Structure 1
Amino acid sequence: MPVYVYWGEDDFSIEKAIALLRDRILDPNWIGFNYTSISPDQPDAAIIALNQVMTPIFGAGGRLVWLMNTTISQNCPENVLTELQRTLPVIPEDSFLLLTSRNKPDERLKSTKLLKQYAKEFREFPLIPTWKTDLLLQSVNQAAEIVGVKLSPKCAELLAESVGNDTRLLYNELEKLRLYTEGSNQPLEVDVVARLVRNTTQNSFQLADAIIMGDTAKALTTLADLMNASEPGLRIVATLISRFRTWLWVKIMIESGERNQQAIAQAAEIGNPKRIYFLQQEIKSVSLPQLISTLPVLLELEVSLKQGASEISTLQTKVIELCQLYR
């Protein structure tokens, strides 16, 4: 089945999957003739893609037509659906149609059902939630194996904390570590990783710490450092949401009378139960209502940034508002 459908927010992983697909399908000498990428701002982009995938191949290899950021699995016009029904069953075996989107396909739609019927791959590339530390650690170890870097458990934990769910940054940092250790068979030392790896997630943790202490000046200074390091605003917000969500779960479990660290770690989705003691200390002087009132503010901040609000001023305003909750 010559159809591939990729979607999700992990742009880097999607890019890697597309590169593998291109290498597998296309002959490098004939890419200019047999590879077409169609942007969503082109009029009738879906119709053009379906016509292109039916075009005979020139020279060697196969043909690949990439319909970028398409919405036909969320909202498909009737004329496009008709063309899909007519074209998908008869796409030549050596021609391939690739559709990508950030949004999850609506499986109730006829267009989505049709794509699933003819798709060789119907695959999601989600970002790992930043509070799922066990999955982040698993991702680090898998990427390290692919890149060829030997990491000790502590180094892997440090790298997971430093890059969070930013897959592109993870591979960039691992490539840096690979070059540093080239010719050596020894695992990296923790202090080496700490010196070499860009640690903006840890700085975002410091921002969360300043907020929970009600230290507005320190919070704004840390935020300025993050912005000067070109840290995306939505990534800062994601780390804050992860941090406060973890604190909230730990506080809820403690307030309910739970004392078993394993049970608290499981509820808060923390991979290492030994972290619970330190988290308890961090929120000892914070009330449950304060933590509960934080998440709606962070949600408002996330929505504002996604709707195109001024990043710096919006972040500054909300950071001040958050700090006031903990005074």
Structure 2
Amino acid sequence: MEQGQVQLYWGEDDFAMAKAVEELRQAVLDPNWVSFNYDKIPSEESDAAIRGLNQVMTSPFGMGGRLVWLADTTLCQQCSENLLAELERTLPSIPQQCVLLLTTRNRPDGRLKSTKLLQKYAQIREFSLIPPWKTEQLVQQVRTYAQEFGVKLNSAGAELLALSVGNDTRQLFNELEKLRLYGGDASKPLDENTVAALVISNTQNSLQLAAAILHGEQEKALELVTDLINKNEPPLRIVATLVGQFRTWLWVKLMVSEGERDSKIIAAAAQVSNPKRIYFLKQEIQSISLLQLQSVLPMLLELEFCLKQGSETMSTLQTKAIQLCQICAGFPGTSSL
């Protein structure tokens, strides 16, 4: 490296961030001198930041560079005047071949002087999870990582893979590795049939749950809830998929009810990457009212709140699934009437 570096990684995508940290480690450190030149300092230590700043000012021993990692740092959320002064003194003066890495799951607070200082001296990378309903971004993420893996996918295959793994980058990497091994050196892109045969799709099962709720099929919805939990699908991910799907249905229904007929305009509003899907989405929501769809989202947000407050997973999901089915079926006494 030509100069000292400061790297700030932030966001909730732990897997993608961990991969980037490992890539940085390999780029900076000589494997024979790691024990001399690598420090990971957890935020729980009372003097973590000061210790990290002191360490990064020491030139590396032997070959390679030095990497000092302040893990789960709170520097971008709170910073004392004394610590700010140390940052101002240290960041411009980090020795050549030394790298200071700061990681945090929280968005840096742009109002803080420490954040503004890091914006001046650090290379900042965001590792936020893509919301499950932003299908176009998820498809683009699949295409980007597929290119890195050397996996060729046709458009339908990329869309199905994005739909199957959602925003779970760990599963995406695992599935792409599987597809890479299967495809070998084949020049022909893998299609949706190959993806469907090889990819594990809990998200797809969550979409089946959304469809069962939409059609008021209580028994099927309860079976799918049980199946998803038995497969260890995270409950909040199930809810996120439901929110994304019902949000899409709501937008399509709203646009259609306002007289919009252009599929491209509807697709843009609903954040659907392929306008051809709009025809099928219209068919899916033909027999449900706009008011019913509007009643579903608050209940899904209530479900998310209950799960985050520690409610028992299975019974909570089952109860809400029944209530949601009743709303969509238009049962008397539900909030959709």
TM-score (norm 1): 0.94
What pairs up with 1:5-44 in 2 under 5 angstroms? 5-44=8-47
The answer as to 2:18 corresponding to 1:3 is no
Q: What is the SS of the residue equivalent to 2:9?
A: strand
CA distance in 1, matches of 2:183, 2:286: 42
The answer as to 2:74 corresponding to 1:71 is yes
Which residue, out of 111, 114, 124, partners 1:111? 114
CA shift digits 1:159-204 (9 cap, x unpaired): 1111112111111101001111224333324322211101111111
1:89 partner amino acid: P
Residue 296 of structure 2 corresponds to 294
CA distance in 1, matches of 2:313, 2:117: 40
CA shift digits 1:191-248 (9 cap, x unpaired): 2221110111111100111111222221121011111212112211111111011011
Residue 145 of structure 1 corresponds to 147
Closer, same or farther in 2 for the Cα pair 1:80/1:299, shift >3 Å? farther
1:38 partner amino acid: I
The answer as to 2:61 corresponding to 1:89 is no
Residue pair 2:214, 2:325 contacting (<8 A) in 1 also: yes
The answer for unaligned runs of 5 or more in structure 2 is 330-337
Residue 267 of structure 2 corresponds to 265
Closer, same or farther in 2 for the Cα pair 1:83/1:317, shift >3 Å? farther
Question: Matched residues, percent identical?
Answer: 60
CA distance in 2, matches of 1:243, 1:110: 41
CA distance in 1, matches of 2:9, 2:234: 24
Q: Which moved more, 1:45-54 or 1:155-164?
A: 45-54
Residue 48 of structure 2 corresponds to 45
CA distance in 1, matches of 2:315, 2:30: 49
CA distance in 1, matches of 2:294, 2:58: 57
Alignment length (residue pairs): 326
CA distance in 2, matches of 1:313, 1:55: 56
Closer, same or farther in 2 for the Cα pair 1:73/1:210, shift >3 Å? same
Which residue, out of 242, 245, 270, partners 2:244? 242
Cα shift at 1:89: 2.4
CA distance in 1, matches of 2:10, 2:309: 21
CA distance in 2, matches of 1:289, 1:263: 22
TM-score (norm 2): 0.91
Q: What is the SS of the residue equivalent to 1:326?
A: helix
